[in-house]
C-alpha cells in the first residue's frame, strides 16, 4: 500500500504538531509545505520537504493526495474550497471557519463533491478520550448527571504582541474553548442551550480573557466550564494530558469530571469512581484507574484521515459536525453579549 501524500498548507506555530504526527502515522507522509513566510520556508527545509509560496503554486506543480489546512482561520474556507474543487480531501484545522455560514458553505461543497472533509479536533483521536466515550456509551456512569471542565492556564505576554489576539475572535473562547465544546459534544451528545458570562478585567484587551459557561445537554445533563487564559494555573487539558511537548506537563492534574448516577470519571487519569457496596454519601466510594493507552492524537488523526480517504473508515468529525461545534462555541459569545440563554437547534 503506497503512502497517502499530504500537503501542509500553513507552516506556522501549529505546523510541528502535524510534522511530528505525520512522521508517526502509518500510511501517510507529508509531501510539501505551502506558506509564504520565510519562517515556514525554513521549517520546510528543516523537515526536508519541498516549499511553495501558496497552495496555488503547490497545486500547479505537485498535486498531493490530500491536504491539511493550518492557515489563519480566515483562510480556512477559501483554501479548503480550492482543494475540494480539485477533488483533494482536506483536513481543516479548527475552527472549521470564521462563521457558521461559511462553515456550512464549505461542508455543503465537500458533500456535494463527494470529497472527504475532516476537522482538526484532534482530541477525538486521543485514546484517553476514546476510552472515556466508550465507558459513557457502555453505561458505566449510568445516567449522565453533570460535566465539570476546568480550562485555566496562562498565555505568556508576548502571545498578545499579535494584534488579532487582542481583538474579538482572537480570545480563549474561539481559540481554546472550542476544543472543550467539541469534546463535550463527543462525550455527552448535543448541547441544547448555553448561558455564559465573559470578562476582560485581567488583561483589559477588547477580547475576553475569562469566561464562565453553563450548558444543558439534550440528554438532560448539565455542564459547567471555567475558562481563562490569564490564570497562573495548571488545570487545563493542554497541560495535563501531555499531548503537545511544547507545553509543560504537570503531574497528577485532573481537568475533566464526568458524573453519572452509577459512577463518575475524571480525566486525563481516567479514574473511575464507584460504590463497591452500599450507596450514599456515608458509604465508601472508591476510584480505580481505567487502563490508559497513550498515543499521539495528531498521528492518529492522520492515520484516520488516510483511512477515510481509502474508504475504510467514516469521518470521526465531518465538516457538518465541526460546524455544530463552531455554532455552539459562538453561542457562548452570543449568550455573554445578550445576557440571555441561547437555545441551539436540535
Ligand X SMILES: NC(=O)c1ccc[n+]([C@@H]2O[C@H](COP(=O)([O-])OP(=O)(O)OC[C@H]3O[C@@H](n4cnc5c(N)ncnc54)[C@H](O)[C@@H]3O)[C@@H](O)[C@H]2O)c1
Separation in Å, CA 3 to CA 6, 295, 315: 9, 20, 19
Burial class (CB in 10 A: 0-12, 13-18, 19+), 61: exposed
**Closest approach of ligand X to the CB of residue 228, in Å:** 18
CB 9 within 8 A of CB 69: yes
| Closer Cβ to ligand X, 260 or 268, answer by number | 268
131-160: contacts with ligand X (CB under 6 A):
none
**Closest approach of ligand X to the CB of residue 140, in Å:** 28
**Closest approach of ligand X to the CB of residue 39, in Å:** 6
Separation in Å, CA 273 to CA 138, 148, 149, 265, 304: 16, 15, 17, 6, 32
| Closer Cβ to ligand X, 70 or 215, answer by number | 70
Residue nearest to ligand X (CB): 12
261-290: contacts with ligand X (CB under 6 A):
none
Pairwise CA distance, residues 65 & 222, whole Å: 42
Peptide linkage before 95 cis (omega within 30 of 0): yes
- Number of shown-chain residues binding ligand X (CB under 6 A): 22
| Closer Cβ to ligand X, 120 or 172, answer by number | 120
First to last CA, the chain: 42
Out of 6, 7, 11, 320, the residue judged to bind ligand X by CB under 6 A: 11
Residue with cell 490569564: 230
32-91: contacts with ligand X (CB under 6 A):
34-37, 40, 54-55, 70-73, 75
**Closest approach of ligand X to the CB of residue 36, in Å:** 6
Out of 49, 96, 110, 122, the residue judged to bind ligand X by CB under 6 A: 122
Pairwise CA distance, residues 262 & 256, whole Å: 17
**Collapsing DSSP states into helix, strand and coil, what is residue 227?**
strand
**Closest approach of ligand X to the CB of residue 341, in Å:** 27
- Supply 106's cell numbers: 464549505
**Closest approach of ligand X to the CB of residue 10, in Å:** 4
Out of 4, 8, 14, 30, the residue judged to bind ligand X by CB under 6 A: 14
Residues in the site for ligand X, rule: CB under 6 A? 9-14, 34-37, 40, 54-55, 70-73, 75, 93-94, 120, 122
Amino acid at each position: 500500500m503506497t503512502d497517502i501524500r499530504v500537503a501542509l498548507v500553513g507552516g506556522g506555530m501549529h505546523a510541528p504538531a502535524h510534522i511530528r504526527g505525520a512522521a508517526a502515522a502509518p500510511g501517510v507522509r507529508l509531501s510539501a509545505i505551502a506558506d509564504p513566510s520565510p519562517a515556514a520556508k525554513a521549517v520546510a527545509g528543516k523537515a526536508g520537504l519541498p516549499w511553495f509560496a501558496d497552495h496555488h503554486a503547490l497545486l500547479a506543480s505537485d498535486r498531493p493526495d490530500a491536504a491539511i489546512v493550518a492557515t489563519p482561520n480566515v483562510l480556512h474556507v477559501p483554501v479548503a474550497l480550492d482543494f475540494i474543487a480539485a477533488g483533494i480531501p482536506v483536513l481543516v484545522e479548527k475552527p472549521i471557519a470564521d462563521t457558521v455560514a461559511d462553515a456550512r458553505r464549505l461542508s455543503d461543497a465537500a458533500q456535494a463533491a463527494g470529497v472527504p472533509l475532516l476537522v482538526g479536533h484532534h482530541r477525538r483521536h486521543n485514546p484517553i478520550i476514546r476510552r472515556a466515550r466508550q465507558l459513557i456509551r457502555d453505561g458505566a456512569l449510568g445516567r449522565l448527571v453533570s460535566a465539570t471542565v476546568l480550562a485555566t492556564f496562562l498565555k505568556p505576554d508576548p502571545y498578545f504582541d499579535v494584534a488579532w489576539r487582542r481583538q474579538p475572535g482572537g480570545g480563549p473562547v474561539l481559540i481554546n474553548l472550542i476544543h472543550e465544546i467539541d469534546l463535550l459534544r463527543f462525550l455527552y451528545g448535543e448541547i441544547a442551550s448555553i448561558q455564559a458570562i465573559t470578562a476582560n478585567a485581567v488583561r483589559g484587551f477588547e477580547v475576553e480573557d475569562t469566561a464562565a459557561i453553563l450548558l444543558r445537554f439534550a440528554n438532560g445533563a448539565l455542564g459547567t466550564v471555567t475558562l481563562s487564559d490569564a490564570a497562573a494555573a495548571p488545570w487545563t487539558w493542554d497541560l495535563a494530558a501531555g499531548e503537545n511537548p511544547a507545553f509543560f506537563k504537570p503531574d497528577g492534574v485532573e481537568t475533566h469530571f464526568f458524573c453519572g448516577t452509577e459512577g463518575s470519571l475524571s480525566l486525563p487519569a481516567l479514574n473511575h469512581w464507584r460504590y463497591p457496596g452500599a450507596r450514599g454519601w456515608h458509604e465508601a466510594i472508591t476510584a480505580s484507574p481505567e487502563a490508559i493507552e497513550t498515543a499521539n492524537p495528531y498521528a492518529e488523526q492522520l492515520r484516520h484521515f488516510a483511512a477515510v480517504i481509502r474508504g475504510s473508515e467514516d469521518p470521526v468529525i465531518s465538516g457538518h459536525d465541526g460546524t455544530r461545534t463552531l455554532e455552539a462555541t459562538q453561542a457562548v459569545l452570543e449568550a455573554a453579549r445578550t445576557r440571555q440563554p441561547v437555545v441551539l437547534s436540535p
